[in-house]
Structure 1
């Protein structure tokens, strides 16, 4: 059995690490929400209350106690984004648009849990909670403001869960996170020019915690917390000439609180609801300084965010058609942390609506499969890099409209390593 646990943990880490640094942001800011194929099918409604099964651990570690025995899950999401930027007057450079700056991406995640006895569980969650890939043409109207952006991460979160009694569980655990950024722009306002490149990386630690409550049969409430993580990035700045200067900067990635509710009714139906808050207002201005002297470089090397908090509201419905087949759907509305005043060519993020469908198939007591699909309807937005705005580079007035949508396909596999009939049964 211990060999099985090692195999499950290794597979959880390996699958996530293999692709975990290839991801495109499809949640507010540059966060990644696509951590569960089962949750995807309901627009992640109720995930903090366990609606996504084992993968609910990403949002609320206390849901680990809802899965008896020895289990692993592997999920992969394929992300197909479309995001265009169309310059308009009074832009001072030729009105050459960026076209579709969205890049196709694959996002995996992995989960393993092990029930020690009737009260205690341990587990591991791996994946990429943050990511962003955008790419514009080498020559376009806004090239001085940005040509390409890449944010990659990999996170491993160990969990210890305690079933206090038959209606309340708690859990917590540390997270180790790798984070890397590469931002590229042009030293020329228009036409061929040298590259401005800022890049850096760091590994840091954080934590997760959560609680689940079952006040009565058929009702589950969960509250999960993922802490902020501060990264002291070290890397290089290439300022339009073939010289790389050693630099460092600090960025604090936001904490997230997720509330979920799941309610069974009419025998085969379950209603799920969720609210998620992300403290993106933590991101203000990140100075980029010379690694040796500590002297800051001026904007645009300096990174200006000044975002507001992000919110995500979701509702979903699930129908257990038979012991083998379950169908689900959901809707969500997301308030982006990026406003008209702070929107940039690197991340033309806007408010959005999610519409999702999915199903699960239980092949046996040990093996099951999940499929989820979401279409995201992005709200049209504006970019206003004009005198007085935080991103303005004198004298390059740049004004544009943005539009976007996303298709996401997710598949997941769940496997139970132990014999279900020998699972530990809680007794109180």
Structure 2
């Protein structure tokens, strides 16, 4: 049974809450989402903390809210079309090729909504509220694919409610702001479990050549799913400096948010295994699963320069501090199954440059380019996160339907570098090996409406 104990520790760990930290889709650093503003998307998210007329500053830089007058409401929806297909193969514990296909299209088409509101009082105080999704999305593979022992479905959802306030220290030149963030996080992770490899590992070496089919690697596939959720609190602060009518500089910082994810693990054990000694062990019984998750802090510098009343150039430089994700400790109901997964992620940088051109009173055009780093490396990359450094190419426009109502549209094409996968699992943990690469790209389609009164 010692082999079963050792293997189960890694099995539970690999499909546990740890996976929630490695399932961001390849369009954003780690599992980060930037899609809370269609206007900003049209500029490849350049100038997110200074651009006038975009209520997403409630969460991006509260200090910039003072540029509004009266009350403004904005609704954004971005449809994320992720395309990611695996090319490769692998081997089981005894060197046979892993069976199964390429997993099909691992990506999905997912809408990401956001809604924000800003109101400015006569005394200069400005308040705002925003609902957005700063982290999440999912990957999902076809049943029985070649990498099934590493990932099946990986889904993380976060929803933020941000309440912010801002005040002008020097009217028209310097403002400060801050807000509190309430964040709800939900995770679902699943994978196939090679119970045949577990049984095979318990046999004495002399008996392994004659082991029955169900007690050999890939001979008794089961399944396991972990679900968990939690809420956490954080904060955001910002400064907006406008030395003259042409230049604006913004600085904002979003804090880390700690989560104690609480949920369950659900095992599906094959009949041939359930009727044997493994079926009786509590290591494969449904039960509790707990883990700590910390979403990273983000520091952003935004700049806008207006050459004239028609043309503006904008830029963003952001650092996401993934050092909060050095390891994840999983706590299962059976204390013998607790384990630690090491990630060793570090700070990533996002750099973007964009432009706006006011064509006439009705139309404003946008375009932008960005470069976004990944926190993953070849040594830690898994099918849950086929992530690599990527380039963004964006265009967008705003149509002023009336003095109170406007509509914005944007399209972004994201081209990642080709992610490489190379996983060698120790024999005591199943012995599988998976090698290959991903052919991936992302399309973002955004639409928003803003009403001012």
- When the two structures are superposed, what TM-score results if normalisation uses the length of structure 1? 0.86
1:227 aligns with 2:255: yes
> Aligned-pair distance for 1:191?
7.3
2:57 equivalent to 1:29: no
Which residue of structure 2 lines up, in the alignment, with residue 312 of structure 1?
A: 350
- Bigger shift: 173-182 or 192-201? 192-201
Equivalents in 2 of 1:396, 1:277: separation in Å?
Answer: 36
> How many residues end up aligned between the 2 structures?
389
Deviations 1:146-180 (A, max 9, x none): 11101011110100111111211111111111001
1:237 aligns with 2:265: yes
CA distance in structure 1 between the partners assigned to 2:98 and 2:303 by the alignment:
51
Structure 1 residues 353, 78: closer, same or farther in 2, change over 3 A? same
Unaligned runs of 5+ in 2: 1-23, 195-216, 270-283
Shift of 1:305: 2.8
Q: Deviation string for 1:308-347 (max 9, x for gaps)?
A: 2221100011101112210010000111111111111111
Q: Which residue number in structure 2 is paired with residue 273 of structure 1?
A: 315
Instruction: Tell me the distance in 2 between the aligned counterparts of 1:392 and 1:361.
Output: 61
Structure 1 CA distance for aligned equivalents of residues 440 and 106 of structure 2: 10
The whole-number CA distance in structure 2 between the counterparts of 1:392 and 1:101 is: 29
Q: 3-state SS of the aligned residue for 1:287?
A: strand
Matched, 1:416 2:421: no
Report the structure number with the largest CA radius of gyration.
2
Structure 1: distance between partners of 2:91 and 2:356: 50
- Give the equivalent residue in structure 2 for 1:81: 82
- Kept in 2: contact 1:86–1:99 (CA 8 A): no
Secondary structure at the counterpart of residue 117 of structure 1: coil
Q: Give the secondary-structure state (helix, strand or coil) at the position aligned to 2:292.
A: strand
- Correspondence 1:125-204 to 2 at 5 A: 125-166=130-171, 167-188=173-194, 190=218, 193-204=221-232
Structure with the bigger percentage of helix: 2
What is the Cα deviation at residue 211 of structure 1?
Answer: 0.6
CA–CA distance in structure 2, aligned partners of residues 118 and 323 of structure 1: 30
Distance in 2 (CA, whole Å) between partners of 1:215 and 1:168 is 8
CA distance in 2 between counterparts of 1:26 and 1:65 reads 31
Do the aligned partners of 2:100 and 2:144 also contact (CA within 8 Å) in 1?
Answer: no
Query: Following the alignment from structure 2 to structure 1, what is the Cα–Cα distance between the partners of residues 120 and 321?
Result: 33
Matches within 5 A, 1:14-163: 26-50=27-51, 53-88=54-89, 92-94=97-99, 96-163=101-168
* Partner Cα separation in structure 1 for residue 25 and residue 70 of structure 2: 34
Alpha-carbon contact 1:280-1:337 (below 8 Å) kept: yes
Are 1:346 and 2:384 counterparts?
A: yes
Using the TM superposition, give the Cα deviation of residue 51 of structure 1 relative to its aligned residue in structure 2, in angstroms: 5.4
Change (3 A) 1:394 1:191: closer
Instruction: Look up the match of 1:14.
Output: none
CA contact (8 A) 2:52 2:67 kept: no
The 1-side partners of 2:75 and 2:268 are apart by: 43
| Cα contact 1:366–1:416 (8 A) shared by 2 | yes
How far residue 119 of structure 1 moved from its aligned partner, in angstroms, is: 1.9
Matched-pair contact (CA < 8 Å) for 1:271–1:318: yes
| Contact residue 24 and residue 104 of structure 1 kept, 8 A | no
Using the TM superposition, give the Cα deviation of residue 367 of structure 1 relative to its aligned residue in structure 2, in angstroms: 0.6
Q: Deviations over 1:235-271 (max 9, x none)?
A: 0122443842112111111011111000000431000
> What is the CA–CA distance in structure 2 between the aligned matches of 1:325 and 1:195, rounded to whole Å?
54
For residues 393 and 52 of structure 1, do their structure 2 counterparts lie closer, same or farther at Cα, with a shift above 3 Å needed?
farther
Q: Secondary structure at the match of 1:346?
A: coil
Is 1:334 paired with 2:372? Answer: yes
- What is the DSSP-based 3-state SS (H/G/I as helix, E as strand, rest coil) of the residue aligned with 1:63? helix
Aligned 8 A contact 1:212 1:222 in 2:
yes
> RMSD in angstroms over aligned alpha carbons?
2.1
> In 2, are the aligned partners of 1:65 and 1:161 still within 8 Å (CA)?
yes
CA contact (8 A) 1:75 1:108 kept: yes
Asked if 1:363 is matched to 2:369, the reply is: no
Of residues 331-340 and 281-290 in structure 1, the stretch that sits farther from structure 2 once superposed is: 281-290
Aligned counterparts of 1:287 and 1:186: Cα–Cα separation in 2: 21
Structure 1 unaligned blocks of 5 or more:
1-22, 418-428
